[in-house]
């Protein structure tokens, strides 16, 4: 039986996470405002263009952060729309300038906002790992797929890069495993000379 203290501690933890997210959003807004103000004050067109690019980059990072925030309430959401928006923001903030294309393919999938948030965190970590380990300066492609198979959801992150050296499980791997457990699911990874496929399977309903 869950104690009152445990419930209060959980609520306090959620409040702290949301407060931190709010402060980070404010920091992004302040940085974007400063860059935009500096751009408006200069007469050098090259500097204006460069600062506009920095502001756009910060906007993309802010969108990624908002997409990965813990939901304020539990409701049914279109997970495919959420994943598509998340992938676009990740592509613009972290991958485009490196020549890495991020492609999203998905069918309409309804999930609770909490489970959708966990899936988004998993996809973000898998895409980040692929970008870090699979590609050199030549770039490549990462493909995210989401589909419903009867009562299960399957999400795949596939890259066409080549793993350089031995990958040791780190904090990112532990985060992925914990989030997958939170979805009552399983994750498998297949590494090969022509790319890596990470597959997450979990029940559509808890």
pLDDT tens digits, residue range 27-66? 767 877 888 888 888 899 998 888 888 878 777 777 777 7
Considering only residues 48 and 186, tell me which one the structure prediction assigns the higher pLDDT: 186
Strand ranges (E), the chain: 76-78, 100-106, 110-112, 140-149, 152-159, 186-192, 195-203
Contact yes or no for 162/195 (Cβ under 8 A)? yes
pLDDT tens digits, residue range 114-137? 999 999 999 999 998 888 888 877
Strand ranges (E), 42-169: 76-78, 100-106, 110-112, 140-149, 152-159
Strand ranges (E), 43-185: 76-78, 100-106, 110-112, 140-149, 152-159
Multiple choice CATH, 75-206, 3.40.50.720, 3.40.47.10, 3.30.565.10, 3.30.450.20: 3.30.565.10
What integer best gives the mean pLDDT of the chain? 82
Boundaries of every domain in the chain:
1-70, 75-206
Please give the average per-residue pLDDT across 133-145, as a whole number: 86
Percent of the chain with pLDDT strictly greater than 70:
83
pLDDT of residue 11: 47
């Amino acid at each position: 039986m869950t104690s009152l203290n445990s419930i209060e501690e959980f609520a306090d933890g959620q409040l702290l996470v949301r407060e931190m997210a709010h402060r980070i959003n404010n920091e992004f807004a302040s940085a974007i405002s400063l860059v935009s103000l500096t751009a408006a004050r200069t007469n050098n067109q090259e500097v204006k263009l460069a600062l506009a690019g920095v502001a756009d980059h910060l906007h993309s990072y802010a969108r990624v952060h908002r997409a990965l925030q813990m939901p304020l309430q539990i409701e049914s959401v279109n997970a495919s729309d959420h994943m598509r928006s998340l992938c676009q923001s990740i592509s613009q903030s972290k991958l485009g300038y490196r020549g890495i294309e991020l492609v999203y393919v998905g069918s309409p999938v309804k999930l609770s906002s909490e489970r959708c948030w966990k899936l988004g965190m998993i996809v973000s970590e898998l895409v980040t790992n692929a970008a870090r380990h699979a590609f050199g300066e030549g770039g490549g492609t990462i493909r995210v797929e989401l589909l419903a198979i009867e009562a299960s959801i399957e999400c795949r992150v596939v890259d066409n890069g080549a793993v350089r050296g031995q990958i040791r499980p780190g904090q990112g791997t532990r985060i992925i495993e914990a989030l997958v457990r939170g979805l009552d699911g399983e994750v498998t990874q297949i590494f090969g000379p022509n790319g890596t496929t990470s597959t997450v399977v979990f029940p559509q309903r808890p």
